[in-house]
Every structure is written in structure tokens, then in C-alpha cells.
Amino acid sequence: MKLMTWTIAVLCLATMSLSAQTEKPGSKRAERSAKILKKFDKNGDGKLDKAERKTALAERKKKRGEAKENGEERRRPRAKRRRSRRRRSGNRGRRAQLKKQFDTNGDGTLDENEKSALRENFKKRRAEMKTRRKAFTKKADTNGDGKLDKSERAAIRETFKKRREEMKKKADTNGDGKLDRAERKAARAERMKKRGEAKGNGEQRRRHGARRRGSRGRRAHRRAEVKKKTELK
């Protein structure tokens, strides 16, 4: 949590002079950026160098520590904290998976050749996603203007909604209008079976990377919560 917070802070301070110039004049963010730049830009070059960023971060850390001691620390909403934990957990799992996949010599690290293979893999997947996105847009673009307007997006949402309702109706074997634990389990098993068949035939459709990482993060978070509750009992 702290590492992510300070990483974000470093990036913000590193680009402070650019933000002050590009932010909308008069906005709160622009005013805040200009104020920080004015306070810590000791050499007056219009940007924060490494030493100035270090000073700014030290003061930020000091103020945060004082606020925490006085019980005045501002915490992000719980939902945002949960999402951050899930993302970090998902990213760690994804990095470990990639490392295992591309570490061909098994030395525990990726050398230049392995990193090159990883980059090529990413490049190929991005090209595939771009192709699928173009095909999807072309299919949904009923007026043929090359982009999706409001009505076309609404039609897409309606299609997805109908598809979800059909899947729910199919999985709801007792007809009570909702999915119980056994029905959800059966639906997942059916989905995994179809996914395995598609993978065997080379037809598997991969979800967007962020969605896959988010799902892995949520599963890891749920497992951690269950483990914590079990230990408390």
C-alpha cells in the first residue's frame, strides 16, 4: 500500500511542472500543482529536479505522519482500497505467471532474449486485440460512420443484457429467478468446460488483460479473507 502510494507521489512530483502548464487554468489541480512547484522549485528552472522532489516527498511524509498521530489522516473510500488491493494482488500473480512462462532456462530471472520474447508476445496480443476491436466496432457501427454513437452503444449494452439474462435463465434450474450456490457452481463448470474445448480447438477468446488481472485479484482477495476468518475461529 505504502509503496504504491509513494510511487504515485513520485510520479506526480516528477511531472509537476508539466501538469502546471497543461492543467485547465483556474482548476483546483492546477492551483495545487503551481503551489507545490513554487514552494519546492529552489533553483527557479520551472521544474522539480531529483533533490527538490526528494525534499517535497519528505515534507509530504512528515505531514502525513503528523496527521496520522492526530487522527486527521484522510483515508480513501473502502471500495477504492479494496480495488487497489485486488489490482496489486492480480498484478503479482500475473508477473509470477509470466516469469514462469518465459523463463526458459529456469534461472529465476528473465535475460535479454527472454524479455525480447515477452515483448514480442505482448506485441502480438495487442495486435490481436486491436483486430478484434475493429471487427466489433464494424459490426456494431450500423450507420457506417466508423465510430459508435450513443444509440449504437446503447444497442450493445442491450445485447449484452439479453445475453446475461439468457445465461441466467439457462442456469436457473429450479426457476426461482435467482442463482443459488449449486447453480452458480454448475454454471462455472459448464463455462470452464466450453473454455477448455475452445482452447483445444484454438478458438479461445481471451479477455482484456486488466479484466483478467482484476478477476485474479478478486479471487486472491476472497481466499485471503476466508483464510483470515478461519484463523480467527
Q: What tens digit of pLDDT does each residue of 89-140 get?
A: 667 777 788 888 888 888 888 889 998 998 999 899 899 989 988 888 888 8
Q: What is the pLDDT of residues 35-56, one digit of tens each?
A: 888 888 888 888 888 888 888 8
CA-CA distance, 225 to 72, in Å (whole number)?
28
Check whether residue 214 and residue 164 sit in a common domain. yes
CA-CA distance, 62 to 56, in Å (whole number)?
10
Check whether residue 146 and residue 33 sit in a common domain. no
**Is pLDDT at 174 greater than 70 in this prediction?**
yes
Q: Which of 49, 30, 33, 32 is nearest to 41 (CA)?
A: 49
pLDDT in the model for residue 4: 45
pLDDT in the model for residue 124: 92
Confidence of residue 10 (pLDDT cuts 50, 70, 90): very low
The distance from CA 66 to its chain's CA centroid, rounded to whole angstroms, is 31
Q: Which of 91, 132, 95, 99 is nearest to 117 (CA)?
A: 99
Check whether residue 90 and residue 189 sit in a common domain. yes
pLDDT in the model for residue 65: 78
Does residue 74 form part of some domain? no
Confidence of residue 30 (pLDDT cuts 50, 70, 90): confident
Check whether residue 64 and residue 32 sit in a common domain. yes
Tell me the three cell numbers of residue 34.
503551481
pLDDT in the model for residue 71: 67
Residues in the chain, how many? 233
Does residue 75 form part of some domain? no
- Identify the domain boundary among 69, 104, 121: 69
Check whether residue 15 and residue 127 sit in a common domain. no
The distance from CA 58 to its chain's CA centroid, rounded to whole angstroms, is 28
Tell me the three cell numbers of residue 64.
502525513
- Identify the domain boundary among 37, 69, 101: 69
Of residues 61 and 24, more confidence is placed in: 61
Check whether residue 13 and residue 94 sit in a common domain. no
Does residue 43 form part of some domain? yes
pLDDT in the model for residue 196: 79
Does residue 125 form part of some domain? yes
CA-CA distance, 164 to 183, in Å (whole number)?
15
CA-CA distance, 188 to 198, in Å (whole number)?
15
Does residue 30 form part of some domain? yes
> Mean of the per-residue pLDDT values for the chain?
77
CA-CA distance, 175 to 169, in Å (whole number)?
8
Check whether residue 94 and residue 43 sit in a common domain. no
For 205, phi and psi rounded to 5 degrees?
-100, 120
pLDDT in the model for residue 44: 86
Check whether residue 59 and residue 92 sit in a common domain. no
Check whether residue 201 and residue 222 sit in a common domain. yes
Check whether residue 99 and residue 179 sit in a common domain. yes
Of residues 214 and 15, more confidence is placed in: 214
Confidence of residue 175 (pLDDT cuts 50, 70, 90): confident
Check whether residue 111 and residue 60 sit in a common domain. no
Check whether residue 99 and residue 174 sit in a common domain. yes
Domain assignment of residue 91, given as a range: 80-232
- Identify the domain boundary among 11, 43, 69: 69
If one counts the domains in the chain, the total is 2
